[in-house]
Copies of this chain bind each other. A is one copy, B any other.
Amino acid sequence: MDFKINLSAWRRRKIEFWNRLWEDLEIGYLDEDLIGILLILNTDINIYTLSSCSGRITVSDSTYPWSREESSVVFKKHVPITINEVLDVLKKPVVRRLWLNSTGPILHLSTNSLEYADKILSMARKAGLKHSGIISMNPDKGYIIELTSGVKISHLLRSQNILLAKEDSLEEIVKVANEVLLEGKKVLIRMFKVFRSELPWNPDDNIISDLKSRGIDIDKYDPYKIYRKYIRLNNI
């Protein structure tokens, strides 16, 4: 084959998702740790981003941590948690099992060419996002890529009436879950660095003028400068 991308449809979707990104940011729905990498990606004329998560800790009441049906997330945070927060969750009744999940970042993006998709996958591998791949392709939507790493744990806290996380061991579990979350943020920083230095400069003029209208200027020679206003990750 060779998918013929419908560039005008692809472009319309880019604008849609770009506007949604700013709405999500304004209502506080978008995790600010993501802004740097999302701006780098969307500033490129061949890329738009879809959903993304910078990494999070959740407690789910479900038979298995990956269950979607018959499953409820009873606790969710994108920053480190405390033992007391978990103790509070453990006080409530459990329908199935309680899992403490700590996961690294996951990003979905679209490119309008296979060549670009290949380039992005190479950069992703370099940044340690070893489970990244093109998950689907569609003339209107483009080549959809999932960027993800192996940073993840799912620890069984409670199985119906059996409590596995006794108070004396909870401190260690929470400590490790927080460490895993931070390992995920490190992956995000590595991703940011690799894309910033290796993505060729193919700016999307619409995006750049939209950023200008939001009071954000781009430095062609160091596009990173545009992001300073939003980035809160240290050590970049």
Mark A residues whose CB is within 8 Å of B.
1-3, 64-66, 97, 99, 113-115, 118, 121-122, 125, 131-137, 145-146, 148-156, 159, 162-166, 169, 172-173, 176, 179-180, 183
- Bound together, the chains give a CA A72 to CA B1 distance in angstroms of 44
* Contact in complex: B176, A172 (CB < 8 Å): no
Instruction: State in angstroms the CA–CA spacing of A82 and B146 once bound together.
Output: 36
Q: Which of B65, B134, B180 contacts A64 (CB 8 A)?
A: B180
- For residue A142, give the distance in angstroms from its CB to the closest CB of chain B: 13
A164 touches B172 (CB 8 A): yes
| A164 & B173 in contact (Cβ 8 Å cutoff) | yes
Do B66 and A151 touch across chains, with their CB atoms under 8 A apart? yes
Q: State the Cβ distance, A162 to closest chain B Cβ, in Å.
A: 5
CB-defined contacts of A135 to chain B, threshold 8 Å: 121, 131-133
- A172–B162 Cα distance when bound, in Å, is 8
CB pair B133 A118 closer than 8 Å? no
